[in-house]
C-alpha cells in the first residue's frame, strides 16, 4: 500500500494540521495509529481517561478516512493486537515496508525512547518534527534555562508574551501590569458561587458508546466511572466547549481561580486541558479567544491575564521542565518521602470532606480543578510523606488530561517538592485552615481545621505541623519558609509530642 512514509499518530496527537502531516501524500504515505492495552496499564488508567483517549482516537481515524488518507489502525479488541505500542509498530512496518517513519514530537519520554528503538532496530529513519501546538520549543526553553539555578515561571512567561505579542500594547503589558495574581485569590463568601452554569456536556454518540462498553468490560477492575462521560472527543466539540467557556465562565475565572465549593466540580474553570492535550485545540487559539474577550469588553483583564498565564505561562513552562530534566526527573525524591499511596485514593472512601469531594469527582469525571489537585489531594500526599513516584502514578492514571509531560512536573515538582525546589521556590504546604478559608468543606466535615490534636483534629492540620517538624532543618534554610518554621517554636515539647503521636496514628491507615 505504501512505501514512502509511515506517519505515526499517537492518542494525544489528534490534529489534521499537525507537523507530521506536512507534505503528506496519500498516494505514497500512510497514517499509523494503534490502541494498545499497555497505554492503559503501565499506570492503571482510570476508566474516564481510557475512554476519552480511545473515543477521540476513533473519531480522528474517522476524519482521516473521510479525507481518504490511507490509514493502518489497530483497535484494542482486534484479533492479534499484541498489546504494546512498539510491538504494533513493528508489525505495521513489516506489513507496509515504509522507507521512513515520520511523527510530531511525542509528549512522553518513555514512548519516544521505545519508538526510537523500533526505528533503529528496523533500520529506518525517524523524522521527529516540532509540535506546533506550543508557543515555544524545548530548544528555546533550554536556552532560557541555561545557567539558571532555579527556573521560575515569571520571566519565561513575560518573554513569551513579548515574543508572541500576547496581551501587549505598544511593548507594554496590557492593563499596565504583567501579573494580576493579587486580584485572583478570592473565596466565594457565605452564599457560594453565583450564577454557575454547567459546562457543555457532549452526549456520547455511537462511536463513544461502543468505546464506553469496551472500556467497561475490558478494564472493569480499573478505578473510575463512565456513566457521566461527556468530554469533547472531536475538534468540532472542543471548539464548542471553548466558545462556551469564553462566553460563560471566563469573566469570573480569575477572581475565583483558587476557590472551592462542595459538590461543585467545575466552577469557573475551562475544562479545556484534555482537549488541548489531545491536540483537538491549539493553545494559540485558546489564548487568542481569551484575549479577544478582553479586547471586546466581555471579560476583565484580571480574568484574561490569569487564564492566559496558565496556558502561555505554566503549560509551556512545565513542558520545558519535563523535556530538559528527563529521564532523571522521574526518580527525584528530595524529601525522601517513602509512604505508599493511601488505598482510599482509588475509592474516595474517607471522612475528610474536602478530600472525599475531590476524589469522588476525580473518579466520577476524571477531573478536578487546579487548587483541588494542588491543595487538597496533592497537599495531603505531601504532608503524609507519600513517595512522589506513587503520587505521580496516581495523577497520571486518574485525570482525563493526564499526559506525562504536563502531569509529572506538576506532581513531582510543584505539588510534592520532589525536585527540591527546581520548580517551586518552597513546598506548597498549609494546614486545614487554608482549605477552610478557600471553600465551605470544613462546615460539613467531622474534623475541625483549627485542631492539630484530639478526636476532632483535622488530619491536614496535624500532618502540617508534623511535616514542619520532620523537615525543620531543611525548611529553616529556605527564606520563604521562615515564618512557618518560626511558628514551630511556639509549640511546647508536649504539644510536639502529641502532634507526632496523632500523625503516626494517621499513617498507616
Ligand atoms: C498535582 C497536579 C497534577 C496535574 N496534572 C495535570 C495533567 O496531568 N494534565 C494537565 O493538563 N494539567 C495538570 N495539572 C495542571 C492543572 O491542574 C490542570 O491543567 C487544570 O486543572 C485543568 O483544568 P481546566 O482545563 O479546567 O483548567 P483551567 O483552570 O481552566 O486552566 C486553563 C488551562 O491552563 C492550563 N494549566 C493550568 N494550570 C496548569 C499547570 N499547572 N500546568 C500546565 N498547564 C496548566 C491547562 O491547559 C488548563 O486547561 C496538574 C496540577 C497539579 C497540581
Ligand atoms: S476539617 Fe480538615 S479534613 Fe475536614 S474539610 Fe476541613 S480541611 Fe478538610
pLDDT in tens, 209-218: 999 999 999 9
Give me the pLDDT at residue 2, please: 54
Instruction: Please report the atom of ligand 2 found closest to the CA of residue 444.
Output: 5
The CA 370 to ligand 1 mean position distance, Å, reads 6
Q: Hey, which of 354, 371, 437, 459 would you mutate to test ligand 2's pocket, going by the most ligand atoms within 8 Å of its Cβ?
A: 354
Residue with more model confidence, 368 or 2: 368
Closest CA to 287 of 117, 393, 164, 110: 164
Prediction pTM value: 0.97
Which residues form ligand 1's pocket by a CB distance below 6 Å?
A: 269-273, 276-277, 307, 310-311, 314-315, 318, 369-370, 373-374, 378, 395, 399, 401-402, 406-407, 410-411, 414-415
Between vectors from CA 281 to CA 278 and to CA 286, what angle results, nearest 5°?
135
Side-chain-facing half-sphere of 265: CA atoms under 13 Å: 18
Measured CA distances, 120 to 19, 36, 99, 128, 274 (Å): 22, 21, 13, 14, 32
Q: Hey, which of 355, 377, 383, 442 would you mutate to test ligand 2's pocket, going by the most ligand atoms within 8 Å of its Cβ?
A: 442
The CA 207 to ligand 1 mean position distance, Å, reads 27
395-436 pLDDT, tens digit per residue, is 999 999 999 999 999 999 999 999 999 988 899 999 999 999
Q: Which of 1-5, 81-85, 204-208, 459-463 has the lowest mean pLDDT?
A: 1-5
Give me the pLDDT at residue 462, please: 98
The CA 273 to ligand 1 mean position distance, Å, reads 6
Beta bridge partners of 128: 103
* Helix, strand, coil percent content, the chain, rounded in steps of 5: 50, 5, 40
Give me the pLDDT at residue 507, please: 76
Whether the predicted pLDDT of 509 surpasses 60? no
Give me the pLDDT at residue 177, please: 94
Looking at all shown ligands, the one closest to residue 45's CA atom is 1
Q: Is 146 exposed, middle or buried (0-12, 13-18, 19+ CB in 10 A)?
A: exposed
348-362 pLDDT, tens digit per residue, is 999 999 999 999 999
Looking up cell 453565583 gives 194
Q: How much of the chain, in percent, has pLDDT values that exceed 70?
A: 99
pLDDT confidence of 326, banded at 50, 70, 90?
Answer: very high
Whether the predicted pLDDT of 330 surpasses 90? yes
Measured CA distances, 24 to 18, 226, 316, 482 (Å): 11, 37, 28, 58
127-179 pLDDT, tens digit per residue, is 999 999 999 999 999 999 888 877 789 999 999 999 999 999 999 999 999 99
Cell of 261: 465549593
Cis peptide before 80 (omega within 30 of 0): no
Give me the pLDDT at residue 195, please: 84
Give me the pLDDT at residue 412, please: 98
Task: Judge contact between 397 and 302, C-beta under 8 A.
Answer: no
Which residues form ligand 2's pocket by a CB distance below 6 Å?
A: 352-354, 432, 435-436, 441-442, 445, 447, 449, 458-460
Give the DSSP letter string of 376-404: IIIHHHHHHTB-HHHHHHHHHHH-TT--H
Nearest-CA residue for ligand 2 atom 3 is: 352
Cell of 355: 478530600
The CA 360 to ligand 1 mean position distance, Å, reads 18
pLDDT confidence of 184, banded at 50, 70, 90?
Answer: confident
Q: How much of the chain, in percent, has pLDDT values that exceed 90?
A: 90
The CA 270 to ligand 2 mean position distance, Å, reads 26
The CA 479 to ligand 1 mean position distance, Å, reads 28
* Largest CA-CA distance found in the chain, in angstroms, rounded: 79
Give me the pLDDT at residue 198, please: 86
pLDDT confidence of 321, banded at 50, 70, 90?
Answer: very high
216-251 pLDDT, tens digit per residue, is 999 999 999 999 999 999 999 999 999 999 999 999
Looking at all shown ligands, the one closest to residue 464's CA atom is 2
Nearest-CA residue for ligand 2 atom 5 is: 442
Give me the pLDDT at residue 183, please: 81
Give me the pLDDT at residue 282, please: 97
Amino acid at each position: 500500500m505504501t512505501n514512502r512514509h509511515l506517519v505515526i499518530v499517537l492518542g494525544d496527537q489528534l490534529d489534521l494540521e499537525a507537523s507530521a502531516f506536512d507534505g503528506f501524500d496519500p498516494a505514497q504515505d500512510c497514517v499509523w495509529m494503534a490502541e494498545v492495552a499497555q497505554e492503559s496499564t503501565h499506570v492503571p488508567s482510570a476508566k474516564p481517561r481510557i475512554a476519552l483517549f480511545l473515543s477521540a482516537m476513533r473519531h480522528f481515524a474517522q476524519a482521516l478516512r473521510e479525507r481518504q488518507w490511507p490509514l493502518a489502525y489497530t483497535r484494542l479488541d482486534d484479533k492479534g493486537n499484541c498489546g504494546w505500542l512498539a510491538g504494533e509498530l513493528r508489525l505495521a512496518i513489516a506489513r507496509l515496508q515504509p522507507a521512513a517513519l515520520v511523527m510530531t514530537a511525542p509528549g512522553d519520554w518513555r514512548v519516544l525512547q521505545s519508538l526510537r528503538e523500533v526505528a533503529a532496530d528496523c533500520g529506518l529513519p525517524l523524522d521527529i518534527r516540532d509540535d506546533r501546538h506550543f508557543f515555544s520549543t524545548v530548544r528555546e526553553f533550554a536556552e532560557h534555562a541555561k545557567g539558571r539555578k532555579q527556573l521560575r515561571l515569571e520571566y519565561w512567561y513575560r518573554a513569551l508574551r513579548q515574543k508572541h505579542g500576547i496581551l501587549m500594547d505598544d511593548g507594554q503589558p496590557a492593563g499596565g501590569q504583567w501579573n494580576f495574581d493579587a486580584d485572583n485569590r478570592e473565596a466565594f463568601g457565605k452564599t457560594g458561587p453565583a450564577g454557575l452554569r454547567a459546562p457543555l456536556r457532549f452526549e456520547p454518540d455511537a462511536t463513544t458508546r461502543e468505546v464506553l462498553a469496551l472500556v467497561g468490560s475490558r478494564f472493569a477492575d480499573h478505578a473510575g466511572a463512565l456513566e457521566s462521560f461527556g468530554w469533547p472527543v472531536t475538534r468540532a466539540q472542543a471548539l464548542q466547549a471553548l466558545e462556551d467557556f469564553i462566553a460563560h465562565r471566563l469573566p469570573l475565572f480569575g477572581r475565583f481561580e483558587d476557590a472551592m465549593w462542595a459538590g461543585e466540580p467545575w466552577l469557573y474553570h475551562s475544562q479545556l486541558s484534555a482537549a488541548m492535550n489531545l491536540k483537538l485545540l491549539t493553545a494559540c487559539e485558546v489564548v487568542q479567544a481569551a484575549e479577544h474577550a478582553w479586547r471586546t469588553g466581555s471579560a476583565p483583564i484580571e480574568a484574561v491575564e490569569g487564564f492566559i498565564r496558565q496556558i502561555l505561562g505554566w503549560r509551556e513552562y512545565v513542558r520545558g521542565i519535563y523535556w530538559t530534566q528527563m529521564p532523571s526527573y522521574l526518580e527525584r525524591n528530595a524529601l525522601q518521602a517513602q509512604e505508599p499511596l493511601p488505598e482510599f485514593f482509588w475509592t474516595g472512601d474517607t471522612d475528610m470532606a474536602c478530600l472525599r469531594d475531590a476524589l469522588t469527582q476525580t473518579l466520577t469525571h476524571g477531573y478536578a480543578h487546579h487548587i483541588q489537585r494542588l491543595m487538597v489531594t496533592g497537599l495531603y500526599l505531601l504532608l503524609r510523606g507519600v513517595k512522589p513516584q506513587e503520587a505521580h502514578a496516581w495523577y497520571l492514571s486518574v485525570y482525563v488530561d493526564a499526559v506525562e509531560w504536563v502531569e509529572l512536573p506538576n506532581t513531582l515538582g510543584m505539588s510534592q517538592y520532589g525536585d527540591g525546589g527546581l520548580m517551586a521556590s518552597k513546598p506548597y504546604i498549609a494546614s486545614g485552615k487554608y482549605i477552610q478559608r478557600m471553600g465551605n468543606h470544613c462546615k460539613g466535615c467531622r474534623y475541625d481545621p483549627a485542631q492539630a490534636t484530639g478526636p476532632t483534629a483535622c488530619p491536614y492540620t496535624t500532618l502540617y505541623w508534623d511535616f514542619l517538624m520532620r523537615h525543620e532543618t531543611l525548611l529553616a534554610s529556605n527564606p520563604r519558609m521562615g515564618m512557618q518554621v518560626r511558628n514551630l517554636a511556639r509549640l511546647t515539647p508536649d504539644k510536639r509530642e502529641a502532634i507526632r503521636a496523632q500523625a503516626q496514628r494517621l499513617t498507616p491507615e
